[in-house]
Amino acid sequence: MQDAWVAVDLGGTKIACALASLEGQWIASESAPTLSHEGPEAVLGRIAALIGDLAARHAVRPRAIGMGVPGLADLHRGVTRFLPNLPGQWRDVPAGPILAAHCGCPVFLLNDARMAALGELRHGHGVGARGMIFFTIGTGIGGGVVVDGQLQLGPLGAAGEIGHQTIIPEGPRCGCGNHGCLEALASGPAIAAEGVRLLAAGLAPHLHELTAGNPAAVNPRQMALAAEAGDELVREAILRAARYIAIGAANMVTAFHPDLVVLGGGVPAMGPILIDEVRAHLRERVRMFPADTVRVERSLLDDKAGLWGGVALARMRTQSA
Amino acid sequence: MQDAWVAVDLGGTKIACALASLEGQWIASESAPTLSHEGPEAVLGRIAALIGDLAARHAVRPRAIGMGVPGLADLHRGVTRFLPNLPGQWRDVPAGPILAAHCGCPVFLLNDARMAALGELRHGHGVGARGMIFFTIGTGIGGGVVVDGQLQLGPLGAAGEIGHQTIIPEGPRCGCGNHGCLEALASGPAIAAEGVRLLAAGLAPHLHELTAGNPAAVNPRQMALAAEAGDELVREAILRAARYIAIGAANMVTAFHPDLVVLGGGVPAMGPILIDEVRAHLRERVRMFPADTVRVERSLLDDKAGLWGGVALARMRTQSA
């Protein structure tokens, strides 16, 4: 039986799990509902069962596990610290050691956005890059910053929180407690809230048609369709969010002059309207050197970036141990 | 005759020059007017004469020269690219090779703000730091970013331009072409412009007294005195600038979680009113981890940071050659 790397992406609604060969070839993936309200022990047991199942089906033995968690964790001890989007008692849970005991191999934790950045760095657009700024734009805005080929973690694993840059000093309150963070202005829910506002005001006829007037059906993808169909104010709301993202990217580009900026997560999947405006507005904001020296790309790995990052994490931490 | 490192800080109004022993002990410094309108050849000749003089008086022989320039340069070739604050034809001048021919030793160029950051890193508050964010706040706002103990330069030597982060998206136009840059909001001239406005509106009685009503006499230091004497609106203008600086610092802290933030240049020398508010507001803005894990300090080397950086640059580049 051969050894394999295991990646786990622990999300608010679902657990995804993947296997890769020791050479880094993808073997298979599988997912299951998180059911976080059942508590950490149950969730970690379910992850272990999922891994065990997948490994048995593909006749491999887990060598090490890289697991992304939606929040902050003590990376050295494998203890979760603050997972705001997981119901249940997740503060100070030794998730790494517990899962390691279940699976009989080492477990390495990382913030899920940083893990996706690592995936993009090692297996996506970032291959060969010295510097990369990675945003994952979905329910929140997470990120990862790569300098000199290294993903930056900081002493508490919290470096890279570039969704919490202040973009509008007196802007809306963010979940983190600050005002006017990029996350509060351009995450999926922030964009959708603008769509709902326009819908309620009767200012978005195509969005109304697409969603049958149901505010709960409004999301960035529906808004992109409505904009394309001719809803000018919906279009402007999307472009405004894109410009906020461009400002956040430009601040980082001006500070680091990386090779590239990568946009991951569900929101950029709405279509070219977002990324085209991010590219255009970045050029307006970066004036200290030619902005066209920095590429702006949608994630190559898309919703697999996290799992690829888990593979890279397991491999990297095992080989440096 | 012993060898020595030479540092040169080429500024808009003055050239400063220093000698240090090969072990990094300060020997002496000297300065002269730049007279930039005479052109690069004349200025570089004057720098060479200043170095020759100083070296002769202290009986040392220049081993290598680290020179800071107010703008961007090709660091590999020693060619100036864009020095907006130096009158005369400074675009594409091989300043390094010309000075090297005069002095008979290698010359290494660096942006002046990055050179001051390097000085602070190697000889100031940054000693032992893994991560440091350095702002130099004067006529403009320059900077340097240190990650993993290394000053970041980027492919064009332009990384670290953290004075050109966007703080107010629709803010005043900056010299760089962007709108609402930190530099356009909190540099010495930007702060003084607020003081002049209050003076003209008759809203700053103490500032009026301190400057005899002369707008040309308004500067951040006079404004700090007026604020202390009771000019509330002047005080508010200073605090507002401090909060902009705090936002710029917080964006970088959130992205990198460095050990410390250092404020250099003439403006922070106005007194504790500025740095106290930067410290306080940084805590409001950084919410993803405890902001008190990051120290905020005034430059330890103050107006000598650049020259110390030149010594460090000459030493570092010679020893890595």
pLDDT score, position B51: 98
Model confidence band, residue B88 (pLDDT cutoffs 50, 70, 90): confident
Which stretches does DSSP call E strand in chain B?
Answer: 2-10, 14-21, 26-33, 60-69, 72-74, 79-82, 107-111, 132-137, 141-147, 150-151, 260-264, 295-298
Domain boundaries of chain B, sorted by first residue: 2-117+304-320, 129-299
CA distance B87 to chain A (A): 19
Cα–Cα distance between B310 and A267 in angstroms, integer?
Answer: 46
Rounded to an integer, the average pLDDT of B222-238 is: 98
CA distance B22 to chain A (A): 29
DSSP SS3 for B55: helix
Chain A residue whose CA is closest to B284: A178
Q: Which of B165, B166, B288 sits opposite A164 (nearest CB)?
A: B288
DSSP SS3 for A264: strand
CA distance B261 to chain A (A): 14
> Which structure tokens are listed for B65?
């020269």
pLDDT score, position B321: 64
A256 to B155: CB separation less than 8 angstroms, yes or no: no
A161–chain B Cβ distance below 8 A for any pair = yes
B257 to A159: CB separation less than 8 angstroms, yes or no: yes
B251 to A251: CB separation less than 8 angstroms, yes or no: yes
Single out the residue of B267, B268, B256 nearest to residue B294, CA to CA.
B256
pLDDT score, position A86: 87
How many CA atoms within 13 Å lie on the side-chain side of B28? 13
pLDDT at B33 over 80: yes
Contact A186, A244 (CB under 8 A): yes
pLDDT score, position B222: 98
- Given the candidates 3.30.1330.10, 3.30.420.40, 3.10.580.10, 3.40.50.10800, the CATH classification of the domain at B129-299 is 3.30.420.40
CA distance B71 to chain A (A): 10
H or E, element range at A98: helix A95-103
B148–chain A Cβ distance below 8 A for any pair = yes
pLDDT at B142 over 70: yes
Best mutation target among A256, A261, A282 (most B Cβ atoms within 10 Å) is: A256
H or E, element range at A30: strand A26-33
Cα–Cα distance between B283 and A135 in angstroms, integer?
Answer: 24
Cα–Cα distance between B12 and B188 in angstroms, integer?
Answer: 15
pLDDT score, position A321: 64
> Which structure tokens are listed for B295?
């120290």
Best mutation target among B289, B293, B294, B295 (most A Cβ atoms within 10 Å) is: B289
B293 interaction partners in chain A (CB closer than 8 Å): 155-156
Give phi and psi for A213, each to the nearest 5: 70, 10
Topology classification of domain A2-117+304-320: Nucleotidyltransferase; domain 5 (3.30.420)
A152 interaction partners in chain B (CB closer than 8 Å): 147, 255-256
B257 to A156: CB separation less than 8 angstroms, yes or no: yes
Cα A251-A257-A262 angle, rounded to 5 deg: 75
Q: How many CB atoms lie within 10 A of CB B202?
A: 9
Cα–Cα distance between B9 and B14 in angstroms, integer?
Answer: 8
Phi-psi region of B293 (alpha: psi -120 to 50; beta: other; left: phi over 0): alpha
Cβ neighbours for B250, distance < 8 A, ≥ 6 positions apart: A165, A166, B281, B282, B285, B286, B291
* End-to-end Cα, chain B, rounded Å: 23
What angle in degrees, to the nearest 10, is found between the helix axes of A220-229 and A272-285? 90
* End-to-end Cα, chain A, rounded Å: 23
A251 to B256: CB separation less than 8 angstroms, yes or no: no
The amino acid sitting at B294 is V
B252 to A255: CB separation less than 8 angstroms, yes or no: yes
CA distance A266 to chain B (A): 22
Cα–Cα distance between A5 and A25 in angstroms, integer?
Answer: 10
pLDDT in tens, chain A (321 residues): 899 999 999 998 999 999 999 999 999 999 999 999 999 999 999 999 999 999 999 999 999 999 999 999 999 999 999 888 888 889 999 999 999 999 999 999 999 999 999 999 999 999 999 999 999 999 999 999 999 999 999 999 999 999 999 999 999 999 999 999 999 999 999 999 999 999 999 999 999 999 999 999 999 999 999 999 999 999 999 999 999 999 999 999 999 999 999 999 999 999 999 999 999 999 999 999 999 999 999 999 999 999 999 999 999 999 886
Looking up tokens 């706002």 gives: B141
Asked whether the domain spanning A129-299 has the same topology as the one spanning A2-117+304-320, the reply is yes
Contact A145, A160 (CB under 8 A): yes
pLDDT score, position B49: 97
A243 to B169: CB separation less than 8 angstroms, yes or no: yes
Phi-psi region of B71 (alpha: psi -120 to 50; beta: other; left: phi over 0): left
Single out the residue of A237, A247, A222 nearest to residue A133, CA to CA.
A247
A72–chain B Cβ distance below 8 A for any pair = yes
